Amino acid sequence: MKVIVALVILIAIGATLWFSNQGEVEIENSQTHELPIISRQQILTATDLVEGVKKSLQEHDEKAISQWLNKALALAKEANMPQEDIDYIQSDMAKNFVIFQAQRSMFNDAVEQAYYDLLNIEDIKADFPQAEDLFASADKLIAKRDKIIEQIAAELSTGDAPTDADRQAARQQWLMHHSKR
């Protein structure tokens, strides 16, 4: 008999807890439906937006930059974002942010090209001061590349230390190999 009473009490407590949680689940679901499906940060850092603005910058086309930003604004409105986010996406601050991101992407592209073409990156760094926080990693990348060239030269060397001719041959091998990419 005690077991049956205990079982009834447990079922009653369980049912009470279950029904009391149903309201919380409904509240959570209703709050979830009100949130936008995308954030302004996601819109402003979207690859297609950054690439489009980057191309527009390369072509010095202010009108195209505005068109890209208008596409971002249309997306924000379509996603029913809060007015505060829509206002931000329309702001000069957002435009400057997207241009900043595009210029950093241009820096990365230029460093990559210099890496493969065996070029120095000092001029690139001077052209893109907004990527200053990327300079150290770019310098490390170029140093690694130069070390690889030196290793190739050492393998080509017939003596103990690679000669200038060995280094030049290593550079030529590098360029031949990376011209196929």
**Distance between CA atoms of 125 and 138, rounded to whole angstroms?**
9
What pTM was estimated for this model as a whole?
Answer: 0.74
Residue 14 has pLDDT above 80, yes or no: no
72 pLDDT above the threshold of 70: yes
pLDDT at residue number 69? 95
- pLDDT tens figures, 103-129: 999 999 999 999 999 999 999 999 999
- Give per-residue burial for 7-19: e unless 16+ CB within 10 Å, then b: eeeeeeeeeeeee
Mean pLDDT of the chain: 86
Per the CB < 8 A criterion, the answer to whether 94 and 69 are in contact is: yes
pLDDT at 37 over 70: yes
Tokens 């709050």, located at residue: 31
Using CB atoms within 10 Å of the CB of residue 138, give its burial: 0 to 12 exposed, 13 to 18 middle, 19+ buried.
buried
3-state secondary structure 97-158: HHHHHHHHHHHHHHHHHHHHHCCCCHHHHHHCHHHHHHHHHHHHHHHHHHHHHHHHHHHHCC
Phi, then psi, of 81 in degrees rounded to 5: -70, 155
